[in-house]
């Protein structure tokens, strides 16, 4: 493409972004920097820092004009280190390829999970705030800890949030997991330490139309309790939200996410 642009004249081509300069730091779950971690074509230094250089390409000017918009930006850079689970940095923007030379993206901190990483469920929940999504039969619960979006910067954790969103927001995702007429269900949960009480606030929003009649949002505030058994099961009393009360297996867990599956 570059040779073609030279032959046709520089005015026939336009510079497009293939990858912005990407910087960040890789640490483990104890915030220890990870040296010599492979990120794309580079390695982290002793402080876990990395920098991927900006990459650009030349596109035919007339082709871009007829397209009427800048091309998409799609970046995928593997993150690999022996003893840790493989991960990847991915960036997508519908018109991101049109950014000017000097484009930069700071990923900040990426937490790399060790192979066979273990968690203490009681410690993970103690004095913390989470959001809940559950399916129609309430036999699967997704928990997302406050701060998830700041923690999750990579491909390994982002699918979990997408699945959670599909359980709480029909309007945004187009999913059909909520009861008929409901478009959003936001559930905030506080797991306290003393005697393991639970505080739950649930807000349900409904379809609104010009014709009406329209149902206003309703709010449920309740208290309950929880108990962790053998670091692998939870007994949950969800108070007024009775469909969530029961015994669950902890089927997936990470620093800011947890999946519960109802026990038979």
Kindly list the averaged pLDDT for each block of 10 residues, start to end, along the chain of length 264.
Answer: 49 85 97 98 98 90 56 94 97 87 94 96 95 95 96 93 95 89 96 88 93 88 96 96 96 97 92
pLDDT tens figures, 69-102: 678 999 999 999 999 999 999 999 888 888 889 9
pLDDT tens figures, 192-211: 987 789 999 999 999 988 87
The reported pLDDT for the residue numbered 8 is 47
The reported pLDDT for the residue numbered 252 is 96
Would you say 14 and 51 are in contact if contact means Cβ atoms under 8 Å apart?
A: no
The reported pLDDT for the residue numbered 156 is 92
Q: Which residues neighbour 8 within 8 Å (Cβ) at sequence distance 6 or greater?
A: none
Question: Please, what are the domains in the chain?
Answer: 2-111 (2.60.40), 121-262 (no CATH)
The reported pLDDT for the residue numbered 125 is 96
The reported pLDDT for the residue numbered 10 is 47
The reported pLDDT for the residue numbered 130 is 98
State the pairing for strand pair 246-254/233-237: antiparallel
């Amino acid at each position: 493409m570059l040779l073609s642009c030279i032959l046709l004249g520089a005015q026939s081509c336009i510079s497009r972004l293939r990858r912005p300069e990407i910087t960040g730091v890789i640490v483990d779950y104890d915030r220890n920097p990870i040296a010599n971690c492979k990120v794309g074509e580079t390695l982290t230094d002793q402080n876990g820092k990395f920098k991927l250089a900006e990459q650009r390409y030349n596109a035919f000017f007339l082709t871009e004009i007829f397209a009427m918009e800048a091309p998409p930006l799609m970046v995928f850079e593997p993150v690999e280190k022996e003893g840790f689970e493989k991960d990847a940095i991915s960036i997508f923007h519908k018109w991101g390829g049109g950014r000017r030379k000097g484009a930069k993206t700071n990923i900040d901190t990426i937490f790399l999970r060790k192979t066979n990483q273990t968690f203490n469920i009681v410690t993970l929940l103690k004095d913390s705030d989470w959001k809940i999504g559950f399916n129609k039969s309430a036999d699967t619960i997704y928990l997302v800890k406050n701060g998830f979006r700041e923690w999750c910067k990579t491909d390994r954790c982002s699918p979990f949030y997408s699945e959670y969103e599909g359980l709480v927001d029909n309007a945004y995702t187009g999913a059909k997991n909520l009861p008929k007429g409901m478009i959003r269900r936001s559930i905030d949960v506080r797991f306290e330490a003393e005697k393991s009480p639970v505080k739950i606030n649930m807000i349900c929003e409904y379809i609104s139309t010009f014709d009406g009649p329209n149902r206003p949002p309703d709010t449920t505030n309740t208290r309950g309790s929880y108990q962790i058994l053998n670091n692998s099961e939870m007994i949950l009393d969800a108070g007024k939200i009775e469909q969530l009360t029961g015994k669950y297996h902890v089927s997936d867990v990470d620093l800011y996410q947890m999946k519960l599956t109802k026990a038979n």
